[in-house]
Structure 1
Amino acid sequence: MEHELAQLSINDEEEEIIHIPIDVNKENRGEIFQLVGCFLTASTIHFSAMKSTMANLWHPVKGVQICDLGEKRYLFQFFHAMDMIRIPLVLTPFWVQVYNVPIGLFSENLVVQLGNFLGNFMEHDVSYLGKGNKNFMRIRVQIDIRRPLKRRKKISFGGNCSYVTFKYERLSLFCFYCGKLGHNDSSCKERMNLGVKIAEMG
């Protein structure tokens, strides 16, 4: 039987297309509030614990369903537009250490300006400022993880200029080539693309 089927030729009727209409009426299918995200860590994610933790952190109005898509990607299904707006999946708070602040130049204004340069200023801690080999101040900022992290900032004072430098606390998966979170140097697309361009140029 299988041999006979294999010998059959494709006829015109088999090639005719069946058109399947797609219902685009939102009233019938409802609005879809979905996001795809990942965790910026090289550690293993325990799925069941993660689902419980995210629900407790976010407190979504009508709940959330989370599906594992593989390759460290997850689908977040919300059921209310407000949850899509208020849950900042691309923003995360960081404590940043600020070094080389010129002596006597610390001020609330400087702290806020540096914080807003890094992201969105939240708060600061000056308990280490002027403490010998731990002479730095800390700024807590909310950072857009899609953007490269800032390394330094030039400041001017009394006709002179210098740089303050930044060190991010508890930094996990980070690429020193492009400055972005979520991957390391060896898997950086920008670095790979540059290598391809150089190879093409010969």
Structure 2
Amino acid sequence: MEDSIAGLSLDDEEDETLQLEVEELNQEISYENCLVGVFLTSSVVHFQAMRSTLASVWHPIRGVSILDLGRERYLFRFYHEVDAERVMKSGPWNFNSHLLILHRLKPREDPLVVQLN
């Protein structure tokens, strides 16, 4: 066991790999095929129930990730453009009788700042 540990070393190639990972973190986040949404309600929306219900109802071709952004906003990331378009065109949507307002994000748009009407 000591022989296998003694053979471990850091060389230039491993340092470059670590540097690439840092650069990837600094890249701009892509919001392609993403929607940002808010529910018109003063009550709390149960995130897990909403996430599973909408994913089940929308039944996207390649899936959807739903993230809680805080400030009562949610990010819906679709993995196929057709899914995002279908959800936008087939609305309005609701959960627990609360209307969901959706906005399709454009490049470089901040989902926490965008106006939802």
TM-score by length of 2: 0.50
TM-score by length of 1: 0.30
Identify the structure with bigger relative contact order (alpha carbons < 8 Å, sequence gap 6+). Answer: 2
Higher helix proportion (structure 1 or 2):
2
